[in-house]
Structures are given as C-alpha cells and as structure tokens.
Amino acid sequence: MARWILGTFAAIVFAFVYLPIALVVITSFNQDMITTLPIKAFDTHWYSKLLADRKTLDALWTSLQVGVIATAVATALGLLSALAIVRHDFRGKNAFLLLTVMPMLAPGIIMGVSLLLFARFIGFQTGFVAMLLGHVLLALPYCTFILISSLARFDRSLEEAARGLGAGELAVILRVTIPGIMPGIIGAALFAFTISIGEFVVSFFLTSAGTTTLPIRIYSIVKVGITPEINAVSTLILAATVVLSVAALRLTWSKRK
Amino acid sequence: MANERGQLACLLVPPLLTLLILFVAPISLMAIHSFWAINDDYLVEHSLQLTQYEKIAADPLYLGTLAGSAGMALMTTIGALALSLPLSYFLVRFVPPRLRVFLVLALIVPGWVSVLIRTYSWNLVIGEAGLMNWLLLSAGLIEEPIRLLFTKAAVVIGLVYIYLPYMLVPIYAAIERLDNSVLEAAENLGAGPARRFAFITLPLIAPGIIAGCIITFIPAMGEYVVPNMLGGLQGVMFGNLITTAFSNFDWPFGSALSMVLLGSILACLLIVGRFLNINRSMLGQE
C-alpha cells in the first residue's frame, strides 16, 4: 500500500522534473512560429534557421572560448589548492577551506555586482576577460573539492617508488601524480565547463556590447518572446550538458566502485 | 623544511591570490561603497556616511521585499523538502540499488542544465498558452486561462524546480545511511509507523534535512533569474532591487542593498546555528 502511494508520488516528482525540459525539446520541432499547443506539424527547420543566425552563433562561439579557457584555469588552480590541502599542514588551513567554499554559497547576484564594481573601480574593461575570470571563480570550488577527493584516494607509494628511482619533485607530480588522478582531473574539467557554459547572472553583469555568451543571448530573446528557435538552441545545450555531466560522473565515480 | 615551505607556497599562492582578488577584494570594496554616497552629478562621494542604510530603513519597499524574499525562500525550502523526503524514502526502501543510483542521477543531472533554460521552460508549462492551460481548457474545466505566470506562486514553483537537487542530495544520502536494524528493533518493541518516524527516523536524518534546508534557503533568498523571468511585478525579490539600483548607476545604494542581503543570509545562518546548539544541549541534558 505505502509502496504504491509513494511510487505514484515519486512518478509525479519525475514528471515535475522532466515535463518542462521535455516541452522545450518538443516545441523546438514545432513548425509554427508561435509556440501554441497542440503542435500541428513537426520539422527541423528551426535548427536550420539557427545555423544562419549570426548573433546566436557568435554567442555560442564566445561561450565555447570562455568555457574552455575558464575550465583550464579553474582546473589548474583547483589542482594546486587540492595538493596544498591534501598533502600539507599549514596554519589557517580551515580558513583557506572556508574561503574556497564561500563562492559556492554567496548568491550569484552579489558575485556579479561586486565583480562589476571592482572592475570599474580599478579601471578594468568588462567583457571577455572579465567574464572568464568570473567563471573561474565560480568553477574553482567545485574543481577543488573534486580533486581533493581524487587526491585523497590516490596511492602515494607510487610516488615513493618514482622518487626512489631518482625522479625529482616536479617530475613526480607531472609524470606520476597527474596521470594517476587523470579521471578526477577530467571530471573536474567537465564540471567546470558545464558551469561556465550555463552561467548567466555573473556574465550578465560582466558582459560588454561586443561579447555575449549564449545564455545572455537566450535571455535577450526570451525577454521579447519565446521562439521555437530559442527552444532549438536550448535543446542543443541540454543535450550537450547531459552528455558532459554523465561523462563527468562516470570519470569521478569510476574509482570508488 | 625550507623546501617543504617553498613547495607549499607554490601550491597555495595562485589559488589564494585568485580568491583574494576575485572574491575578497570585490566584496570588501562593495562593503566600503555602501558607506559612500552619490551626489547630484552622479559622482561617488568618498565620505563615510550611513545615507544608504537610512534610505533602506526608511522605505518599506526594501524591507518588505526582503521579508517577502525570505518568505518565498522559506516556501521553496518547505516545498523542496516535501518532495525530497517521500521520494528519497521510496527510492531507498522500495527500489533495488542499481536502479536507485540511476534514478537519483536522473533527478540530479537536469539540475546542471543552465538555470536560464530551466527557468524559462516553465513559461511553456504555466504560461497563458502553456500546457497547463491548454489541458484544462480542452478538458472544459476552466473557461479562461489561469494567470499563474508572473505571480509569486510561479516564482516559488520555479525556485522549487531549480533548487530541488540541492535538497534531494543530502536528504537521500541521510536516508540511505539509516540503519534498518534500529527501525526493526523499534517495530519489534511495538512502535507504529508514525512513532518510528517521529522518534527514530527523524532524529537520525535531521543533519541531512538541516543541511538540505540551509543550502536551499541561502541561494533561493538571493535568487535573481527566477523572479526576473517568472515573477513579473508581483513576484519581485530582493535580487531584482539590487539589479535595478546598479542599472541606475547608484552603486553605493546597490552595494548597501547587497550588504543587507548578505547580512540577512548570515543572520539566518547564525539563528539556525544557535537554535541547533540549544537543541543539542537540551538533548544532552536528557
């Protein structure tokens, strides 16, 4: 009895989670301009139209560039943090950990406006680099914690062996440690990329007229009215996010099993 | 030893500098800005004063919206909790482990899709020409479309949707860790389902519930995208006021509003922490 009631409840929650996303995907194949139900005919012409939309493609290109660079920087910084936290004892370690978590907890809008304020104050031009730095800040805590957990599980006797065979400290890190925690590094990078690609609030404050990321482009269109074209872009982002997240999960979880 | 310190410095300095420059410095600058003011020529006057905070205290719009945001965040927390508890219980109790892991991931992965997309997708569900109205109209249950979009309720629905994974993960983890033998012992001693839940399950999963509530409430309270896209004029939250101040180039005022939001979030955390401490010490005395 309890089983069936709870099962029905669970099914409703699943519907709640998937219904809006499913509607985005379905309406992206709607032939009509206006997103009214019921949908009369399905086709993919909004996707072809998307390929001709310069502004949206430019925004996608900017998003990819920001995403790749922010991912590389955040993952590298996260690795340094994780190495310091897992392998060293130092005064203020807890304070450093707290400082690392804080960007995860502070509301996005506060990060956005404070970065804007700071950029203006020191005379730094907002735009590509500013957004990039904002994304690095947002992704850093996630990268750090993923890498802390993979470093903590890494068997250090391999490093001892390499040292015994005469490898220097840097060579040990580069040729033993990093290859050993590669799944964690790739997992952290995929998380960072996913965060950067979907990020809106911070970019919204740090964008400049010339450089727009995809979420900001979507926002400016949705504010006027939802078109099937926007649903098409969103469907593509959705697919990419799901693929990236599943890959990230597989990589970061594989060692535990 | 010197080598060890040098190594640590190499590791620690780059991330520490990043956090100091991109997080500590901007927030500190914002704190200072909030004590400045803007003059008639729209220039920032660098003299310490409380003008901004007096302005916030004087106009009921600001504190009213702050209370409203806290209320909406609270409703979001309760809503997400009401969904997560029975769902997690069902998954742990009735679903075999392999399928269970898959189902939990299936609930979490959509949470990584851009907040913007997940928020506007609700337009397609509750909008005037959305799925809900279409179904109700076709079924003849209503004559006129229900105007749910651009209300407070729409914002809370959107917030529950966005923050459900935040609540679900800690609660699911807590329920999965529950030791069934304790519950069986209670059952053998004659405790009914309600008693077992209230006196055994609930205290054991309380840390998970509290963690879930905190990490749902905090970002929900400072949310900007959801009220902006689903709230219209009725569902304004404090984050929208901050944006308005900044787009009017009144940086000192926007900074003061931001500090009020940060302060309220910190106050909520302290109150929860204090409350928990009192509870713990009471339990300790029993």
B31 in contact with chain A, both atoms CB, cutoff 8 A: no
Q: What is the pLDDT, as a whole number, of residue B3?
A: 78
B199-228 confidence digits (pLDDT tens): 888 889 998 999 999 989 999 999 999 999
Mean pLDDT, residues A151-166 taken together: 91
Q: What are phi and psi of B96, to 5 degrees?
A: -60, 145
Helices B60-94, B251-285: inter-axial angle, 10-degree rounding: 50
Q: Is the pLDDT of residue A257 over 50?
A: no
Reported confidence tier of residue B6, pLDDT bands at 50, 70, 90: confident
Q: What is the pLDDT, as a whole number, of residue B285?
A: 46
A107 in contact with chain B, both atoms CB, cutoff 8 A: yes
Q: What is the pLDDT, as a whole number, of residue B25?
A: 97
**Domain B69-283 CATH (choose: 1.10.3720.10, 3.10.129.10, 3.40.50.2000, 3.40.50.10860):** 1.10.3720.10
**Contact flag B27-A110 (C-beta cutoff 8 Å):** yes
Kindly provide the ipTM of the predicted complex, given to two decimals: 0.90
Reported confidence tier of residue A129, pLDDT bands at 50, 70, 90: very high
Nearby residues of A231 by Cβ (< 8 Å), 6 or more positions away: A24, A25, A27, A28, A30, A35, A46
B2 in contact with chain A, both atoms CB, cutoff 8 A: no
Higher-pLDDT residue of B25 and B145 is: B25
Q: What is the pLDDT, as a whole number, of residue B130?
A: 87
Reported confidence tier of residue A83, pLDDT bands at 50, 70, 90: very high
Compare all CA atoms of chain A with the CA of B119 and give the residue at the minimum distance: A20
Identity of the residue in B29, B106, B246 whose CB atom sits nearest the CB atom of A121: B29
Q: How far apart are CA A189 and CA A76, in angstroms?
A: 9
Q: What is the pLDDT, as a whole number, of residue A45?
A: 83
Interface of A with B in 179-238 (CB under 8 A): 194, 197-201, 205, 215, 218-219, 222, 226, 230, 234, 237-238
Mean pLDDT, residues A204-233 taken together: 89
**Contact flag B8-A84 (C-beta cutoff 8 Å):** yes
Compare all CA atoms of chain B with the CA of A15 and give the residue at the minimum distance: B107
Q: Is residue A74 a contact partner of residue A191, using CB atoms and an 8 Å limit?
A: no
- Look at the block and give the residue holding tokens 């076709």: B138
Distance of CA B167 to the CA centre of its chain: 9
B235-273 confidence digits (pLDDT tens): 999 999 999 999 988 899 999 999 999 999 989 888 888
Whole-number mean pLDDT of chain A?
90
Compare all CA atoms of chain A with the CA of B91 and give the residue at the minimum distance: A10
B23 in contact with chain A, both atoms CB, cutoff 8 A: yes
Nearby residues of B206 by Cβ (< 8 Å), 6 or more positions away: none
Q: Is the pLDDT of residue A37 over 80?
A: no
Min Cα distance B25 → chain A (Å) is 8
Structure tokens given for B159: 């917030």
Mean pLDDT, residues B99-123 taken together: 91
**Contact flag A107-B219 (C-beta cutoff 8 Å):** yes
Q: Is the pLDDT of residue B187 over 90?
A: no
B45-54 confidence digits (pLDDT tens): 888 889 899 9
Nearest alpha carbon to residue A188 among A220, A238, A147: A147
Instruction: Report CA-CA distances (Å) from A221 to A209, A228, B159.
Output: 15, 11, 22
**Contact flag A107-B254 (C-beta cutoff 8 Å):** no
Whole-number mean pLDDT of chain B?
90
Question: How many C-beta atoms lie closer than 10 Å to residue A200's C-beta?
Answer: 22
Q: Is residue A244 a contact partner of residue A193, using CB atoms and an 8 Å limit?
A: yes
B99 in contact with chain A, both atoms CB, cutoff 8 A: no
CA angle (A38, A43, A44) in 5-degree steps: 130
Mean pLDDT, residues A139-160 taken together: 92
A40 in contact with chain B, both atoms CB, cutoff 8 A: no
A133 in contact with chain B, both atoms CB, cutoff 8 A: yes
Q: Which residues pair with residue A42 across a beta bridge?
A: A30
Of the given ranges (A87-91, A250-254, B143-147, B232-236), which has the lowest mean pLDDT? A250-254
Q: What is the pLDDT, as a whole number, of residue B263?
A: 94
Count interface pairs A-B at CB distance under 8 A: 222
**Contact flag B161-A121 (C-beta cutoff 8 Å):** no
Interface of B with A in 220-249 (CB under 8 A): 221-225, 229, 239, 242-243, 246
Nearest alpha carbon to residue A131 among A202, A194, A61: A202
Q: How far apart are CA B110 and CA A17, in angstroms?
A: 8
Compare all CA atoms of chain B with the CA of A134 and give the residue at the minimum distance: B22
